[in-house]
Structure 1
Amino acid sequence: MTTFDLVVRGAFVLIGGNWRAAEIGVTDGVVAAISGTPLDGREVVTLADDEVLVPGFVDTHVHVNEPGRTEWEGFASATRAAAVGGVTTIIDMPLNSIPATTTVDALETKRAVAGSKAIVDVGFWGGAVPENLGTLRELHEAGVFGFKAFLAPSGVDEFGHLDADQLETALDELAEFDGLLIVHAEDPGVLDAHANEGGTGYHRFVESRPDEAETTAIDRVIAGVRRTGGRAHILHLSSAAALPALRAARAEGLRITVETCPHYLTISEEQIADGATQFKCCPPIRDDANRDALWQALVDGDIDIVVTDHSPSTAELKFAHGGDFGKAWGGIAGLQTGVAAVWAEAARRGIPLESVVNWMSTATARFAGLAGKGVISVGATADLVVFAPDETFTVHAGELQHKNAVSAFDGRELRGVARRTWLGGRELTIAADAPTGTLLSR
């Protein structure tokens, strides 16, 4: 009988989108066998009655911020948080690090820093900014997974936004090598027209970034994809008002994918108190009816994936202005809590765990082109999570692995705990002396 490095056996193993009793044999970091009869292993793990086995979660939208703003986060703290939350792969955004990942040199700088600290696997997005248009192929060939662009100011000076003509230029350039443009889609003209004095009232912040800002910008992206035949991905969709146009574009055959985030699915405008700037993000969290529509779009397949848009900062930046939403830094740190937040709300709505795993693991891996991740199948990478779906816990921001004790989920009861996690067949521990993650290229 073959002796595997690791055997995990359980009554509920997620295979091909369905639960089944199985034994998973792992050799050299790869799933080598799936069996309904006992396997022999050097290490054998038997799941408890309240545990299931799922593939490691894949978060394709994470701001690690290192180097340059490591006081906001960093590869050590971010990947620890990921590991605790059952996330085995992240793809890092090209901002808010300094330098931004808009050149090959900047990419190599970031890879050098990450390689000495990452506990989970890490890939990298490049940026498309006015200064690097015409050179995107170089970054593509260096291994970035695609190119992030803002259509309105990003909030940091070193990462400029693309105007209407520059968006067209970027789409033309990327179409030449079938590169992917991932877009923060808010229209600057609409934002300017709705700018207000700020203040502590959350409703005034939402009024300053209305649905129209997203719908107008997304219409522009759709038109550009239609013209070029290229690919685009809409980041952190918050407004359900954009769904009809996106649905029609996809039905037309345009290559457009869409994501949303845990905070848009689990929090609503009605729940946010005045001055509670831990909830500020751009685009904003909208009302409860909008939240319901986003969930329906997920169920219907009009939204492809759920990712955290983990965008942390220091407490000083989030709270220094007395609860003024116009001045507080915008961004929500959710890397460790994302899966549990989404599963808690999904369960409340009667949506099964396998759907959540699809949106946050299988589909995210497929979106990024990460073959062998997001699934439990023979030949797949042995990224595995022992998950306790019915265990609940209350979030305490100061106990999270995130570098700063700021969380929009602070005090909330969430559902689902990653009790054990393997990355490439090696069990993760946040106390590891050496990094265990691999740096990924497209």
Structure 2
Amino acid sequence: MTPDVQTAPPQALAPAAGPLGALRAREVLVDGAWRPATLVLAEGRVAAIEPYDAEPYDAAPAGTWTVPDGHVVLPGVVDSHVHVNEPGRTSWEGFASATRAAARGGVTTIVDMPLNSIPPTTTVAGLEAKRAAAVAAGLGVDVALWGGAVPGNVGELAGLWDAGVMGFKCFLSPSGVPEFGHLEDDAQLDEHLTEIARLRALMVVHAEDPAELEAAAHGPSRSYQDFLASRPDSAETAAIARLIDAVRRTGARAHLLHLSSARALDLIADARAEGLPLTVETCHHYLCFAAETIPDAAPQLKCCPPIRSEANRDLLWQALADGVIDCVVSDHSPSTAEEKQRGDGDLQAAWGGISGLEVGSVALADEARRRGVDLADVSRWTSAATARLVGLDDRGDLPAKGRIAVGSAADLVVYDPEARVVVDQELLAHRNPISAYHGRAIRGAVTTTVLGGRVLDLEAPAGGELLTRP
């Protein structure tokens, strides 16, 4: 049977957009375990978890919805690595389009990176400009913000931290945009990490080594293998080794962004065994694609660091199972069609970034099923672990995100494991219709997204909030 061409199945079986008093389903992922349950929702929280057939909630003031059998209920995804690019490069991606894409993909919270917006979020003034742009655009889901660590701004970090950013991002190699410089040597890295340690904050790190990249540089080419050779494993391993040494010297907490090379796994495992405060993420696309199947002149599949071999992909999956990698994110990094197609197929010239916010999590769940990995594990990597990374799992008097438990945020996803979808990039909600997943047949789809106890209209989600660090 040919799957339907669609990206977000209609909510025909769901209640209308608006408040929901209770939700019952045969399979609910409650604190990491599957069980039949009725979730009673009030004031944006899961107020109670009752047996499936709890009768009193049939008359809940805002209504009780019985989820169709065969559908499952998960906590909303927390995507801690998203580039929105507004203000300044809103033509690449804006808050309205990004949060609409998020809602359709079951992502109820995003954490926005401090680039590629102009100004970048490297000063309190830049942070305020970003927040103002987000409010003006309107938010379909909740949004938190990272700050940036660049040469010369170490004195800004405390102000950004006090203003509520979730942590700080730095690059160890050129970022690709001139207004966000990279930390060029150990002195700059140590200076920033020392301040991060003093603040008891978190540094998230793009770890590629510029000397290794320079040594592997390649001229114009449409060949994916040439592009892959220009971003070698050694660029990641050298930068990660450098970061581990800096963490050891300063005691700062650090997080490795978008790990693509399995050759770094032993370095990471040894550092963690040593007790160093290091966490690691990988991305949907590194787990769903392999270099052997990527055609030449396909810039929609270009990202930095790159998608590597099938054998490498298998090792990343194993590292997730072993706990060496903590979480999985989209690294949604869109651009205009002009930037993505710059060079007419020359992969050295095209913008490097993959737009995976809407379909990445469902593609990951489908790939996990093929590998015999339970959906509960996928949820742990994309919701619980990411919420914990940025401190949204423990928010004091505010409801925790990333899990379903009494008192947690009523951020929920109803997922149909048997839905058949073929991704059509023209139907995706992010601003520019370019997708690495275009044409991919996926089994499983988000049918309903609930944010703070409200069913979202997936065509026009609204009511998202700006979050600050607890």
TM-score by length of 2: 0.92
Query: Is the alpha carbon distance of 1:151 and 1:39 closer, same or farther for their aligned partners in structure 2, counting shifts above 3 Å?
Result: farther
Query: Which position in structure 1 is the counterpart of 2:244?
Result: 222
1:24 aligns to 2:39 (yes or no): yes
Give secondary structure in 2 for the equivalent of 1:58. strand
Quote the residue 2:107 is aligned against.
Answer: 87
Shift of 1:38: 3.0
CA distance, structure 2, for counterparts of residue 267 and residue 5 of structure 1: 38
Aligned residue in 2 for 1:438: 465
Q: Distance in 1 between matches of 2:380 and 2:222?
A: 38
Out of 268, 279, 284, the position equivalent to 1:246 is: 268
- CA distance in structure 1 between the partners assigned to 2:433 and 2:303 by the alignment: 17
Q: Distance in 1 between matches of 2:56 and 2:297?
A: 57
Map of 2:344 onto structure 1: 322
Q: Which shows bigger deviation, 293-302 or 386-395?
A: 386-395
CA distance in 2, matches of 1:275, 1:431: 33
Structure 2 Cα separation of the partners of residues 281 and 190 of structure 1:
17
Q: Which residue of 2 aligns with 1:48?
A: 68
Match of 1:124 in 2: 145
What CA distance in whole angstroms lies between the structure 2 residues aligned with 1:127 and 1:380?
29
State how far apart, in whole Å, the 2-side matches of 1:5 and 1:422 are.
Answer: 9
CA positional deviation for 1:113? 1.2
Q: For residue 140 of structure 1, what is the aligned residue in structure 2?
A: 161
Contact 1:12 1:19 in 2 (8 A): yes
The yes-or-no answer on 1:38 pairing with 2:66 is no
Tell me if the contact between 1:262 and 1:341 (Cα under 8 Å) persists in the aligned partners. Answer: yes
Runs of 4+ in structure 1 deviating by more than 4 angstroms, as ranges, are: none
* Counterpart pick for 1:381 among 386, 409, 412: 409
1:289, 1:148 → 2: CA distance? 30
* Count, aligned residues: 438
Whether the aligned pair in 2 keeps the contact of 1:363 and 1:374 (CA below 8 Å) is yes
- 1:198 offset after TM fit, Å? 3.0
Q: Which runs of 5+ in 2 are unaligned?
A: 1-18, 394-399
SS at match of 1:131: coil
1:407 and 2:429 aligned: no
- The 5 A counterparts of 1:309-348 are 309-348=331-370
Alpha-carbon distance in 2 for matches of 1:38, 1:360: 33
Rounded Cα–Cα distance in structure 2 between residues aligned with 1:394 and 1:77: 21
- The residue type paired with residue 210 of structure 1 is P
Looking at structure 2, the residues matched to 393 and 35 of structure 1 have their Cα atoms a distance apart, in angstroms, of: 33
Identify the match of residue 457 of structure 2 among 410, 422, 429.
429
AA aligned to 1:272 is I
Indicate conservation of the 8 Å contact 1:198/1:204, yes or no: no
Where in structure 2 are the equivalents of 1:12-411 lying within 5 Å?
Answer: 12-36=27-51, 37-40=54-57, 41-42=60-61, 43-116=63-136, 117-164=138-185, 165-371=187-393, 372-411=400-439
> How many Å apart are 1:135 and its aligned residue?
2.2
User: CA 1:360–1:133 in 2, change beyond 3 Å: closer, same or farther?
Assistant: same
SS in 2 for 1:130: coil
TM-score, with structure 1 as normaliser: 0.97
Q: Is the 8 A contact 2:20 2:454 kept in 1?
A: no
1:222–1:168 distance in 2 versus 1, CA, 3 Å: same
CA positional deviation for 1:169: 1.0
Task: For 1:314 and 1:131, locate their aligned partners in 2 and report how far apart those are by CA, in whole Å.
Answer: 30
Query: Corresponding residue for 1:10?
Result: 25
Task: Give the SS at the match of 2:305.
Answer: coil
Contact 2:20 2:455 in 1 (8 A): no
Q: Give RMSD over aligned pairs.
A: 1.1
**Whole-angstrom CA distance in 1 between matches of 2:327 and 2:46:** 25
Quote how far apart the aligned CAs of 1:375 are.
0.9
Q: Which runs of 5+ in 1 are unaligned?
A: none
Shift of 1:390: 2.0
1:113 and 1:430 mapped to 2: Cα distance?
22
CA contact (8 A) 2:114 2:148 kept: yes
Q: Deviations over 1:109-131 (max 9, x none)?
A: 11111123111000000000003
Secondary structure, aligned partner of 2:139? coil
Q: Distance in 1 between matches of 2:226 and 2:346?
A: 10
* 3-state SS of paired residue (2:101): helix
- Displacement, 1:392? 2.1
Q: Which moved more, 1:231-240 or 1:166-175?
A: 166-175
Q: Which residue number in structure 1 is paired with residue 13 of structure 2? A: none
Give the Cα–Cα distance (whole angstroms) in 1 for the partners of residues 266 and 420 of structure 2.
36
Q: For the residues of structure 2 that align with 1:82 and 1:137, how far apart are their CA atoms?
A: 30
Kept in 2: contact 1:54–1:386 (CA 8 A)? yes
User: Compared with structure 1, are the counterparts of its residues 39 and 287 closer, same or farther at alpha carbon in structure 2 (3 Å cutoff)?
Assistant: farther
Q: Which residue type is aligned with residue 67 of structure 2? A: L
Q: One-letter code of the match for 1:56?
A: G
Secondary structure at 2:74's aligned position in 1?
A: strand
> 1:347: how far off?
0.4
Please tell me the residue identity of whatever aligns with 2:278.
I
CA distance in 1, matches of 2:323, 2:205: 20
Amino acid aligned to 2:23: V
Matched residue SS, 1:223 = helix
Q: Give 3-state SS (helix, strand or coil) of 2:442's partner.
A: strand
Give yes or no for contact 1:25–1:39 (8 Å, CA) kept in 2.
Answer: no
